[in-house]
Amino acid sequence: MAPIASDAAALLALRCPRCHEGHLFSRPAYHLTKFADMPAACPVCGQAFEPEPGFYFGAMFVSYAFSVAIFAVTTAALYFLAGDPALWVYIVGVGAVATACTPLALRYSRALMLYWFGGVHYQPGRAHRPAPAARA
Ligand SMILES: [Zn+2]
């Protein structure tokens, strides 16, 4: 498979920021117990996915922003589409949508953290080279 040329498209596809080809997560998002599992390094180019210990603590802030957006959009949608329903409908509706979106919010918050603060840039020629650990 050819690497994705655009950073934004690679981010949306949750691919490695260096080669745009390796997957950031080991399992699909709907795997309810292991949707957050990431390989230690990119299986294609060997880029480490955790640049330093605790790197993804900052992703909590990005995830918080996603949660606020999910709450606001769901509340507005319920208000306008359901005609300002009872309070319990808001609580159940927002809770259900936020719970359903949890794997995506976590994955995209980690991916944004890696793309913004990981210090990794796209290197088109890096795909299909052996990982640094494999050469040693
Ligand atoms: Zn890679």
pLDDT digits (tens, 9 = 90+) for 42-79: 999 999 999 889 999 999 999 999 999 999 999 999 99
Please identify every residue whose CB atom is under 5 Å from ligand 1, which is an ion.
16, 18-19, 22, 42, 44-45, 47
Quick one: average pLDDT of 110-114?
95
Domain of residue 45 covers 7-135
Domain assignment of residue 2, yes or no: no
Confidence at 130, pLDDT banded by 50, 70, 90: low
Query: How close is the Cα of 63 to the center of ligand 1, in Å?
Result: 24
Domain assignment of residue 122, yes or no: yes
* pTM for this predicted structure: 0.83
Domain assignment of residue 30, yes or no: yes
pLDDT above 90 covers a percentage of the chain that reads: 74
Query: How close is the Cα of 53 to the center of ligand 1, in Å?
Result: 19
Quick one: average pLDDT of 5-12?
92
Domain count across the chain: 1
Domain assignment of residue 82, yes or no: yes
Domain assignment of residue 66, yes or no: yes
Q: What would the DSSP string read from start to end of the chain?
A: -PPPS-HHHHHHTTB-TTTS-SBS-SS-TT-TTTTT---SB-TTT--BS-SSTTGGGGHHHHHHHHHHHHHHHHHHHHHHHTTS--HHHHHHHHHHHHHHHHHHHHHHHHHHHHHHHS-----GGGTTSPPHHHH-
